[in-house]
Chain A
C-alpha cells in the first residue's frame, strides 16, 4: 500500500510537472499576458491620462450606469434563480425539461441576437411597443432596455450554481425542520437558504461579472449614446474606435479591477466562513 502511494508521488514529480507547466503556460499566454499588456499600456504614460479619461463626465456616467445595471439585474436574477432552482429540484414536474432548456438559451445564443430579439419586442412596431408608449415607458435607448438585456444574458448563472448544491443537500434537513414545527417559509429561510448559500453566492459573483462586462446585447438596445446610454464596456469600445487609447485602456482596467474585486470579496467571505 505504502509503496504504491510512493510510486504515485514519484509519478507526480515527472508527469505531474509536465502537466503543470502545460497548464500554467496555457493560462499565462492566453489569459495573463494580455491582461498584463493592458495594464502596461494603460499606465505607459503615467496615471494621469487614463484617470482623466475615466473621470470625464462621460466616463463617470458610464461607470454609474454600469453600477445601476448591476444593482438592478443581479438581485432580480438572484431571486429568480433561487426560485427556478427550487422548481427544478424540489418540485418534480413533467415540464421541468422546458425550464431547464430555456435557461440554457442565453448560453447558446449570441448576445447580439438577444439584443435584436429585444428590439423586435420593444422597438418600433414591436409587440409591446404600443402599450409601453401609451404608458410613457421608454425601454429601448434607455436604462430599462440595458437592464433587460443584462438580465437576459445573465439568467443562468445563479440557477446553474444553485441546482447541484440543492440536489446535494437532499430533503432530509427540510423534512426535519417540518417535523419540528417549521412552516415552508421558515424552513426556506432557516434551513434551505443557509445550506445553499455558497452555491448562490458563487452564482451571484458570476452573474455580476457577466453584467459588468456585457457588451453585445447592450450595444444593440442602448443606442450607445455617450453620457446617456453608454455602459463601461461601450465606453471602452467607443474610445478605442475614436483612437482615444488612454480612455479605452483606463476604462478597461477599471472594468477588470471591478470584476477582480467581486471575486476577491467572494474568496474573503469563503475563507471567513471556513475559519
Chain B
C-alpha cells in the first residue's frame, strides 16, 4: 500500500513542526525519514498513524484519504522508540493484543502469536513479562505485536534509538531481511544517516519541518540538493564556497595549479581508515580520509607540508563546481622540506 502526504502543516504553539511537507512512499518500499532532532520527522510519522492531527494537508494510504480516520481504524503497525510494551501483560498477551481486540478465536490467536514469536526469535519467552526482557527483545516483541494484525503499513519511530550499538546493528540487518520477507510498506524514522542508508531503499531528508531532498542513498550522497543534505548524509569539508567529502581530497607531495598547500596537524589512525587533519594557509581546517597504504606511500608526518587536490567539490551557489579531475600527478615520495606558499585560493 503506497502512502502519500500532501501539503502537511503542523504547529505546536510557536513551533512549526511540519511546514508544507509532501512525500510519496511507493508500495512495498522501505523508506527512511532522516533528519536531526526537531526536524519534524517523528511528527510526520505520527501524523501518518493518526497520532497527531494535521493543521492542514492530507494523508493518503493506498490512495484513500485517511486524514479524518482515527488511529484505531487506519490499520497501521506502529513501533515506538521506547517499546511502549504493555507492562502488565506477558509477551504472549502483548503480541496477541490486537487480535483479541479483533475478537479472534483463542486457538487462532495462539497459532498466530507463536508464528510471530518464531519470526522475531522470541519463542520460549511467551510467558515472560516485558520487565524480564532485554531492550532488543522488547523491541522485537513490539514489532511482533505491530505485525500480528497484518497492518497495511508499518511505521517505526526511532526503533533502535534506545539500544546499544551492537544490538542496533544486528536489529537493522534483521529488519531489512524481515521487510524483504513480509514486503509490507515500511517507514522508519532515524537521525542516524548510516542506519538510514544501511536499511532503507529510499530516504527522505528533513530539516526544520521541511523536506530537503528525497531519493536513494546514492542520489543523496552523490547529488545532494543543498549544503544541509550534503553535510547530513556524510562527512564534509568546506573550502570557501565549495564542499568536498574527505575521501574526495587527494593528498600529494608535489604542488601544481590544482592543489592547495596545507600543513598536517594531526594523523589519527582508525583501523584501516586514516584521518589526516590539515590547516590551510588562511587558517581553514580540512581533513582527508586516506587508507593505511596511501599514508605509508605519502610518508606524511605531523607538522609537514602537503598539497591537497579536491576532487568532486560541490558548490550550491548556482555556479558550476570546480571539478579538477584528469591531469594529476601520481602521488609519490618526495622530501618533506618543500615549504613554498601556494597561491591557490
Contacts and interface: CB of A to CB of B under 8 A. Distances in A.
Interface of A: 172-173, 175-183, 186, 190-191, 194-195
Interface in B156-179: none
Given A175-B51, A176-B78, A181 B98 contact: yes
A221 B149 CA distance: 57
Contacts of B142: 176
Contacts of A182: 72, 97, 101
Q: Which one of A179, A182, A190 has the highest number of Cβ atoms from chain B below 10 Å of its Cβ? A: A179
B33 interface: no
21 contacts: A172-B84, A173-B84, A173-B85, A173-B87, A175-B78, A176-B142, A178-B50, A179-B51, A179-B72, A179-B78, A180-B72, A180-B146, A180-B149, A181-B72, A181-B73, A181-B98, A181-B101, A182-B97, A182-B101, A194-B88, A195-B86
Contact of A178 (B71, B77, B102): B71
A176 B71 contact: no
A182 B70 CA distance: 10
A148 B40 CA distance: 51
A180 B76 CA distance: 8
A176 B86 contact: yes
Nearest to B85: A173
Interface in B37-53: 49-51
Contacts of B102: 181
Contacts of B149: 180-181
Main secondary structure of the interface of A (DSSP, over half): helix
**Chain B interface residue bracket vs A:** 20 to 34
Given A175-B80, A176-B86, A186 B101 contact: yes
B82 interface: yes
A271 to B, nearest CB: 17
Nearest to A190: B97
Nearest to A193: B88
Given A181-B98, A181-B102, A181-B149, A191 B86 contact: yes
A195 B78 contact: no
A176 B51 CA distance: 10
Interface string B59-98: 0000000000011111111101010111110000000011
B309 interface: no
Contacts of A179: 49, 51, 71-72, 74, 76-78, 146
A254 to B, nearest CB: 36
Given A176-B84, A181-B101, 5 more contacts: A175-B84, A178-B71, A181-B75, A182-B101, A191-B86
Contacts of B88: 194-195
B101 to A, nearest CB: 5
A194 B86 CA distance: 10
A274 to B, nearest CB: 12
A172 B73 CA distance: 18
Contacts of A173: 84-87
B314 interface: no
B184 to A, nearest CB: 14
Contacts of A177: 86, 97
A194 B82 CA distance: 19
A173 B84 CA distance: 5
Nearest to A183: B72
Contacts of B98: 180-181
A177 B84 CA distance: 9
Nearest to B81: A172
Contacts of A195: 86-88
A249 to B, nearest CB: 44
B51 A180 contact: no
A182 B75 CA distance: 11
In this complex, the member of A172, A177, A180, A191 whose beta carbon has the largest number of chain B beta carbons within 10 angstroms is A180
A172, A173, A176, A177 interface centre (most CB from chain B within 10 Å): A176
B185 to A, nearest CB: 15
Contacts of B85: 173
B145 interface: yes
Which 10 residue pairs of A and B lie closest in terms of their CB atoms, listed nearest first?
A180-B98, A172-B84, A179-B78, A176-B84, A178-B71, A194-B88, A181-B101, A182-B101, A181-B72, A178-B72
Interface in B87-118: 87-88, 97-98, 101-102
A149 to B, nearest CB: 36
Contacts of B71: 175, 178-179
A1 to B, nearest CB: 23
Contacts of B101: 180-182, 186
B48 to A, nearest CB: 11
A190 B77 CA distance: 19
Given A175-B51, A175-B71, A180 B84 contact: no
Interface in B317-341: none
B144 to A, nearest CB: 12
Contacts of B75: 181
Given A186-B101, A195-B88, A180 B145 contact: yes
A186 B149 CA distance: 16
Nearest to B75: A181
